[in-house]
Amino acid sequence: MRWALVKVCLAVTAMVVVAFAVPLGLVVKEMARDRAFSNAEREAAVVVPALSITTDRDQLERVVAAAGSDDGMAVHLPAGDGRPAVDLGRRRAAAADVEAVRKLGRASTTDVPGGSALLQPVALSLGTVVIEVYVPESEMSNGVGTAWAVLAAVGVALVVGSVAVADRLGVRMVQPARRLVEGAHELGEGKLGARVPEEGPDELRLAAVAFNSMADQVVQLLANERELAADLSHRLRTPLTVLRLNAASLGDSPAAEQTRTAVAQLEREVDTIIRTAREAKPQTAAPGPGAGCDVAEVVRERMAFWSALAEDEGRKVRTAGVDRPVRVPVARAELAAALDALLGNVFRHTPEGTAFAVDVHNSDDAVIVLVSDAGPGIPDPATAMARGRGSGAAGSTGLGLDIVRRLAESTGGDVRVGSSVLGGAEVRIWIQLDGREPVRGGHRGSVRRRRRPALR
Q: What would the pLDDT profile of 185-223 be if each residue is shown by its tens digit?
A: 888 887 878 888 887 778 888 888 888 888 888 888 877
pLDDT tens per residue across span 154-169 = 888 988 888 888 877 7
Taking the CA atoms of residue 53, residue 54, residue 58 and residue 59 in that order, the dihedral angle to the nearest 10 degrees is: -10
Alpha helices in 350-398 (DSSP H): 381-385
- Measured between its terminal Cα atoms, the distance across the chain in Å is 81
**CA–CA gap between residue 68 and residue 59 (Å, rounded):** 14
Residues contacting 261, CB < 8 A, separation 6+: none
Band (281; pLDDT cuts 50, 70, 90): very low
pLDDT tens per residue, range 108-140: 888 888 888 888 888 877 778 888 888 888 888
At residue 431, the pLDDT reads 93
Q: Indicate whether 82 pLDDT > 60.
A: yes
Calculate mean pLDDT across residues 427-452: 57
Q: What is the CB-side half-sphere exposure of residue 248 using CA atoms within 13 A?
A: 11
Return the closest-CA partner of residue 428 out of 364, 365, 376, 381: 381
Kindly state the DSSP code that residue 83 receives in the 8-state scheme: B
**Helix (H), strand (E), coil (C) string for 413-428:** CEEEEEECCCCCEEEE
pLDDT at 445 over 50: no
Query: Following CA atoms 388, 394, 395, 400 in sequence, which dihedral angle do they give, to the nearest 10 degrees?
Result: -50
Task: Categorize the per-residue pLDDT at 399 as very low, low, confident or very high, splitting at 50, 70 and 90.
Answer: low
pTM beyond 0.85: no
| pLDDT-based confidence at residue 68 (cuts at 50, 70, 90) | low
Domains and CATH numbers, the chain: 2-144 (3.30.450), 209-283 (1.10.287.130), 285-446 (3.30.565.10)
Question: Using CA atoms, how far apart are residues 284 and 290, in angstroms rounded to an integer?
Answer: 17
Phi-psi region of 89 (alpha: psi -120 to 50; beta: other; left: phi over 0): left
Residue 233 has pLDDT above 70, yes or no: no
> What pLDDT sits at residue 45?
81
* pLDDT, average across residues 249-276: 69
To the nearest whole number, what is the mean pLDDT of the chain?
78
Q: Which residues pair with 327 in a beta bridge?
A: 294
Please tell me the number of Cα atoms within 13 Å of 297 on its side-chain side.
10
